[in-house]
Amino acid sequence: MPELPEVEVVRAGLAPAVTGARLAGVTVLDDRALTRHHGDAASFESALTGRTVTAAARRGKFLWLPLEGGEEAVVAHLGMSGQMLLRPPGAPAERHERVRIDLEHPDHGELALVFADQRTFGSLALDRLEATPDHAPGGWGTDAATVPSQVAHIARDPLDPAFRDDGFRTVLSRKASAVKRVLLDQTVLSGVGNIYADEALWAARIHPETPATALSTRATRSLLAEIRAVLEKALAEGGTSFDAQYVNVNGQAGYFAHSLNAYGRTGQPCPRCGAPIVRVSFTNRSSHFCPKCQKPARPRR
């Protein structure tokens, strides 16, 4: 599933093309793309046609396009294989195309915004915007202190200027769960999934099964710093692409897969100490770590 860097790459690519653009036409080709929308395809098409987009915003793994008036937005979640692609007007249908939105931009002219999704776990929806409790902008790419109702429960991500480090440390100090499980909880910290959790824990030398409460203040600070470093490096390299599903708005893949130190490197030598990276089952996923560098936490006496 795309994580923060992959979704941010898409948001940044959409922003110049959609900000200020008029939605000249909306065509839903597959109702399964509207599982989060409160209404049918006809209501989605009619409610959006003629509206103007004011920004491209993101919190965690959610994207949204605020509409003029500041009360509603088009919310997008890419699921496991969703793609938001920009194409010339009248371009042939994409493979697995689910929704097409025809844009008229005052500077860029006509464009088509295509939502394609092979596995149909992604979705689009028209949603209301509500005020953020902390009165800070709702997410990356917007100055408005609003967030879609479907995204309001999602925590801020660690690259968000409004993210509170002290609040994160407090939450970890109260969680007896494995630290990796806490990192994947999008109500605690958003945008981090399996790949970047494994990479950050490797960089911080923390075993994924370490209880969050066992982390010292120093270890927590180190972990948060490594999470940010990993996300920023992945952003700089366009995200992680293991197959053709994870692409930017122009269909190009990211290159961070070449920089991975732990995730997906089962049996290969740890770049730090040379011990073989191991893979263990973790809540229907897998954890990858170095058994030598990332020792299990010792019980407190």
Q: DSSP labels for 14-74?
A: HHHHHTT-EEEEEEES-GGGGTTSSS-HHHHHHHHTT-BB---EEETTEEEEEBTTSSEEE
pLDDT at 200 over 70: yes
Catalytic residue chosen out of the listed positions 11, 58, 59, 61: 61
Q: Do residues 144 and 8 both lie within one domain? A: yes
Instruction: Place 301 in a pLDDT band, splitting at 50, 70 and 90.
Output: very low
- Which phi and psi angles does 127 have, rounded to 5°? -135, 155
**Number of structural domains in the chain:** 2
97 occurs within a structural domain: yes
Instruction: Supply the CATH number for residue 265's domain.
Output: 1.10.8.50
pTM above 0.95, yes or no: no
The reported pLDDT for the residue numbered 23 is 98
Domain boundary among 148, 178, 205: 148
- Give the domain range for residue 10: 4-148
User: Is 61 one of the catalytic residues?
Assistant: yes
Annotated binding site for DNA: 96, 119, 175
Catalytic residue chosen out of the listed positions 3, 6, 199, 226: 3
User: Is 285 one of the catalytic residues?
Assistant: yes
The reported pLDDT for the residue numbered 157 is 95
Catalytic residue chosen out of the listed positions 32, 128, 285, 295: 285
Instruction: Place 88 in a pLDDT band, splitting at 50, 70 and 90.
Output: very high
pLDDT at 220 over 90: yes
Domain boundary among 91, 123, 148: 148
The reported pLDDT for the residue numbered 272 is 96
Rounded distance between C-alpha atoms, residue 253 and residue 244, angstroms: 7
